[in-house]
Chains A and B, each alone.
Chain A
Amino acid sequence: MTGPKLVSILRQGSWLIASIHTALDDTQMLMFQHDLIDQIGRYRSRGVVIDVAALDVLDSFGARTLRTIAEMARLRGAETVIVGIQPDVAFAMVSLGMDTGTVPTALDLEEGLEYLGRPGGARSARHGRAAG
């Protein structure tokens, strides 16, 4: 594979920070899901922040994939927070009849990390704002 990376997954202590850098097609979205779940298991992560600010849309497939990631992460003992949903993307999701389900969302990376409960990793922060 050449060219710029579509996604990056960075490890920071017991957290993973996953950033989507561009519009992903369904196959790439599923690869992202696979890689992320894989790393959650490998590093025994406690929390995952997924930054979707660069996604052009969150359609039914994208939203469902994020929910699936969060659910699989939960089963592996990690909590997920989605950050960076753009206002127009959120509006289209709501109009479409989609939301992120029970997956918490936060405004940006900083707020997402805060949500996961810096410094101790406790899950005591306020509940994230639902995207819809």
Chain B
Amino acid sequence: MRDEPRPHDDVAALIPMLRRVIGARVDDAATADDLVQETLVRVLAAAARVEPGMLEPYAIVTARNVVASLWREQDRHRRNRHRVVDLDLPDSPDQDLLASEERTAVAEALARLTDRERATLLAHEVSGQDTRSLAAEQGSTAGAVAAQLNRTRARLRVEYLLVRENVEPPTERCRPVLLALSGGDRRRQREVDAGRHLLECDVCAQLSQPLMERAQPRDDEVRIPISTDADIVAARQAARELAARLGFARTELTIIATAVSEVTRNIVRFAGTGEVVVELVDRPRRGVQVTARDTGPGIPDVEKALADGYSTYNGLGLGLPGARRLMDEFAVVSEMGRGTTVTMTKWCGER
């Protein structure tokens, strides 16, 4: 640690550059400004730890991560929601008429999507085509397809409610507000001043109820932002705690925690920041699924990184192959310059 204070001027001098970096990635000026501020706060917090001369590259990486985490936030409700419309539907058994009205509403809402949105959504949700192969078909990336699917789902939910309640939005602000609520995107909700609109617009106040209930945090999922050593411990402990609810044996809990420790360390060492999401799954069996994703440089050769003995830092290359041995399912998707996602699952009970 150095004693002389690091002048904040260093950081302030980064602002024009950060505006360019973020402006190139985010269209909306207000959002971009928010992200510049957020980046500055993070850079300031880290400035003392960053080598002189490394501040600018550090700030660029941070800015990119902040933008990426915005996108991730928009992806929040993607995983394991494999129903086209996942609002709570009334499901008393004798209400066939209602059920058929629901189907009609879903069909009509689907018809309001663009052809492309509808095709992609149905390919994914109904035919089970995964985002990677969709991305390959569209000349896009899995992340972009996932984000697009999320937006489509958010829109579908809104259109479905409009059809079901048989209302037309009374103002031009209604749809953007409903979409922001449906996507669970808090930043976007602030941008469109959703809270105020709900006070002012009775239609949206009523329609938004199921959308907001849906956005309640799930209790079978934990999300841990990763940027420091301490977060590695937090991630593995959170995984252990959540998995313990399924009745895993102590040995298995420790195996899960160890695997999480390994993949999380990879984020801290290679990417700087990322997140670990731990969730309980029940299909095809009960288990715990861990997703570790970062927006780091990516792994140039995943096969090689998975090969035992491959050493990427400090003579220590056990991270990925070790975690793979510990878990039942293990997959790595890495894209150069975009980041890496490790998904791994431990099933509960007999194999």
Residues of A that sit less than 8 Å from B by CB? 23-28, 56-61, 64, 86-89, 91-93, 95-98
Asked if B262 contacts A96 (CB within 8 A), the reply is yes
B131 in the interface (beta carbon within 8 A): no
Known: A23-B233, A25-B232, A26-B229. A95 touches B326 (CB 8 A): yes
Asked if B325 contacts A97 (CB within 8 A), the reply is yes
Nearest CB of A to B241, in Å: 11
Nearest CB of A to B211, in Å: 39
Interchain CA distance A27-B253 in the complex, whole Å: 24
Asked if B316 contacts A60 (CB within 8 A), the reply is yes
| Chain A contacts for B325, CB-based, 8 A | 95-97
Interchain CA distance A96-B232 in the complex, whole Å: 17
Interchain CA distance A57-B236 in the complex, whole Å: 9
Nearest CB of B to A119, in Å: 36
Which residue of A has the minimal Cβ distance to B252?
A: A88
Interface bits B211-251 vs A (CB < 8 Å: 1, else 0): 00000000000000000111011001100100000000011
Listed residue (B237, B255, B319) with the most chain A CB atoms within 10 angstroms of its CB: B255
Interchain CA distance A56-B236 in the complex, whole Å: 9
What would 12 A/B residue contacts be, using CB atoms closer than 8 Å?
A: A57-B236, A57-B258, A57-B261, A59-B265, A60-B262, A64-B316, A89-B254, A92-B255, A92-B326, A96-B258, A96-B325, A97-B308
Which residue of A has the minimal Cβ distance to B308?
A: A97
Which residue of B has the minimal Cβ distance to A60?
A: B318
| Chain B contacts for A59, CB-based, 8 A | 258, 261-262, 265, 322
Listed residue (A57, A58, A93) with the most chain B CB atoms within 10 angstroms of its CB: A57
Total count of chain B residues near the partner, CB < 8 A = 27
B274 in the interface (beta carbon within 8 A): no
Interchain CA distance A18-B261 in the complex, whole Å: 23
Interface bits B294-336 vs A (CB < 8 Å: 1, else 0): 0000000000000010000000101101110110000000000
Nearest CB of A to B295, in Å: 21
Partner of B255, one of A26, A61, A86, A91: A91
Nearest CB of B to A22, in Å: 9
Interchain CA distance A58-B255 in the complex, whole Å: 10
Partner of B257, one of A25, A57, A98: A57
Which residue of A has the minimal Cβ distance to B231?
A: A25
Asked if A25 contacts B316 (CB within 8 A), the reply is no
| Chain A contacts for B322, CB-based, 8 A | 59-60, 96-98
Interchain CA distance A58-B326 in the complex, whole Å: 13
Asked if A98 contacts B255 (CB within 8 A), the reply is no
Nearest CB of B to A27, in Å: 5
Asked if B262 contacts A25 (CB within 8 A), the reply is no
Interchain CA distance A76-B191 in the complex, whole Å: 62
Which residue of B has the minimal Cβ distance to A25?
A: B229
A-B contacts besides A96-B323, A96-B325, A97-B321, 18 pairs, CB < 8 Å: A25-B229, A26-B229, A56-B254, A57-B258, A57-B261, A59-B261, A60-B265, A60-B316, A60-B318, A60-B319, A88-B250, A88-B253, A91-B251, A92-B257, A95-B255, A95-B326, A96-B258, A96-B262
Known: A61-B316, A97-B322. A56 touches B230 (CB 8 A): no
Interchain CA distance A28-B228 in the complex, whole Å: 12
Nearest CB of B to A114, in Å: 27
